[in-house]
């Protein structure tokens, strides 16, 4: 049986968003098909055109954008996924998914998919180590969500701490393990 090599890459508003470009390149190098779903705030960091160029696919953003075809977008994206990868995963998207909140396209895709979901947190150490964030991560892990833990490094604030997006090679290795 051939594996479904369609990756839905969820991209959230984290300073590590620029590393999503390298994630796309690495996944395509491994012959995965990548479709990007950006949160609205992610679009304030990087334009969707960059991700379209790298993925060779349309970028999906708004829950209520006019569709190119008349499929229900979050359902059709959820059904085509062999895996949903969220990299970078902000504290906000982790909290929304843990709470069952579906108020944007990415959270709706995650709620609707039967594919494995792999999250790669990237945020300030204080946010990552916050008891609420850690509780949300523990809840999601108990529900079967997978995580590639952030690494220690220089954070956007200039301090050194845990919260940097995991190495691209580690993310791709976990994608291959979970698809």
Is the preceding omega at residue 88 within 30 degrees of 0, hence cis? yes
Query: Is residue 81 within 8 Å of residue 47, measured between CB atoms?
Result: no
Residues 147 and 140: their CA atoms lie apart, in Å, by: 9
108 is catalytic: no
Between the CA of residue 125 and those of 2, 161, 165, what are the distances in Å? 40, 6, 11
Residues 56 and 58: their CA atoms lie apart, in Å, by: 7
Query: Is residue 85 within 8 Å of residue 57, measured between CB atoms?
Result: no
Helices 73-80, 105-112: axis angle to 10 degrees equals: 50
Check 21, 102, 157, 164 and give the catalytic one. Answer: 157
Query: Is residue 147 within 8 Å of residue 118, measured between CB atoms?
Result: yes
Neighbours of 156 (CB within 10 A): 13
Q: Which residues does the annotation mark as catalytic? A: 157
């Amino acid at each position: 049986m051939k594996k479904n090599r369609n990756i839905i890459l969820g991209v959230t508003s984290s300073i590590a968003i620029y590393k999503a470009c390298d994630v796309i390149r690495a996944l395509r190098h491994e012959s995965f098909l990548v479709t990007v779903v950006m949160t609205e705030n992610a679009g304030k960091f990087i334009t969707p055109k960059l991700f379209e160029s790298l993925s060779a696919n349309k970028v999906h953003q708004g829950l209520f954008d006019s569709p190119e075809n008349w499929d229900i977008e979050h359902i059709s994206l959820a059904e085509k996924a062999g895996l949903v990868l969220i990299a970078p995963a902000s504290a906000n998207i982790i909290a929304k998914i843990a709470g069952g909140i579906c108020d944007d396209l990415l959270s709706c895709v995650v709620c609707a998919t039967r594919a494995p979901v792999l999250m790669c947190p990237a945020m300030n150490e204080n946010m990552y180590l916050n008891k609420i964030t850690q509780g949300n991560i523990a809840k999601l892990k108990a529900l079967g969500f997978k995580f590639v833990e952030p690494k220690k490094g220089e954070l956007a604030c200039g301090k050194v701490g845990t919260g940097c997006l995991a190495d691209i090679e580690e993310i791709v290795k976990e994608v291959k393990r979970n698809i």
